[in-house]
Chains A and B, each alone.
Chain A
Amino acid sequence: EPEVTQTPSHQVTQMGQEVILRCVPISNHLYFYWYRQILGQKVEFLVSFYNNEISEKSEIFDDQFSVERPDGSNFTLKIRSTKLEDSAMYFCASSNRGGYTFGSGTRLTVV
């Protein structure tokens, strides 16, 4: 069964540092997403990406966040200057006009 792959599985970073979270979506999917989940809370939408541009973004997705599809397979989320409150699980998902397939997530810990 096709999978969405995320790396790293866990990243620890110091406050103020930049982090890049990586995702390899399912190869024939056209829609890509980032969600996050703070421990014990619900899954929150960050951004959707289609045809090499952002389709929708939430109020969480401010100027410190950016997304990129640098090649035909990877989809990245960059957080420019991390804050303590950015600590969360970050999930990448992809879709082809059906249900989403989520990756297993990257646990980001900002210290």
Chain B
Amino acid sequence: LAKTTQPISMDSYEGQEVNITCSHNNIATNDYITWYQQFPSQGPRFIIQGYKTKVTNEVASLFIPADRKSSTLSLPRVSLSDTAVYYCLVGDTNFNKFYFGSGTKLNVKP
């Protein structure tokens, strides 16, 4: 399974764009990249998933370079409520299992 590496924590201010990068050097051909958000005492919440290039939805964008060895989650104009832990997961298309890394704790300040 591809191991993921993310910064342990990041600080930002309200209204800024936040980019969280994840490294996954040994990603396999069939692996997808998925990002989750987790608030304290809650289950992780799906944010976005992609395979290559760029994916955008109503809450975030995901940028994946051609070699797919990294990915960047982009959160536009964060608010205080975006303070959470963000996890990057890499998993096969059979979806038998995903392993969570340590995640990035994002702290949004007023």
Main secondary structure of the interface of A (DSSP, over half): strand
Q: Are B96 and A43 within 8 A (Cβ)?
A: no
CA distance A94 to B96 in the complex (A): 11
Contact with B along A88-102 (1 / 0, CB 8 A): 010101010111111
Q: Are A44 and B100 within 8 A (Cβ)?
A: yes
Q: Which of B14-73 contact A (CB under 8 A)?
A: 34, 36, 38, 41-46, 49
Per the CB 8 Å criterion, the residue count for chain A at the interface is 27
Shortest distance between the CB of A59 and any CB in chain B (Å) = 12
Q: In this complex, what residue of A is CB-closest to B46?
A: A99
A-side contacts of B42, CB under 8 Å: 104-105
Query: B residues touching A (Cβ–Cβ < 8 Å)?
Result: 34, 36, 38, 41-46, 49, 87, 93-103
B-side contacts of A100, CB under 8 Å: 34, 36, 44, 46, 98
Query: A residues touching B (Cβ–Cβ < 8 Å)?
Result: 4, 31, 33, 35, 42-45, 48, 50, 55-56, 58, 89, 91, 93, 95, 97-105, 107
B-side contacts of A91, CB under 8 Å: 43-44
Q: Are A45 and B41 within 8 A (Cβ)?
A: no
Q: Are A50 and B45 within 8 A (Cβ)?
A: no
CA distance A50 to B6 in the complex (A): 30
A-side contacts of B95, CB under 8 Å: 31, 48, 95, 97
One of B49, B97, B100 near A56 (C-beta < 8 A): B97
Shortest distance between the CB of A107 and any CB in chain B (Å) = 7
CA distance A102 to B44 in the complex (A): 6
One of A31, A43, A50, A95 near B44 (C-beta < 8 A): A43
CA distance A45 to B49 in the complex (A): 19
Q: Kindly list 5 other residue pairs between chains A and B, CB separation below 8 angstroms, not including A42-B100, A56-B97, A107-B41.
A: A43-B87, A93-B43, A95-B95, A100-B36, A100-B44
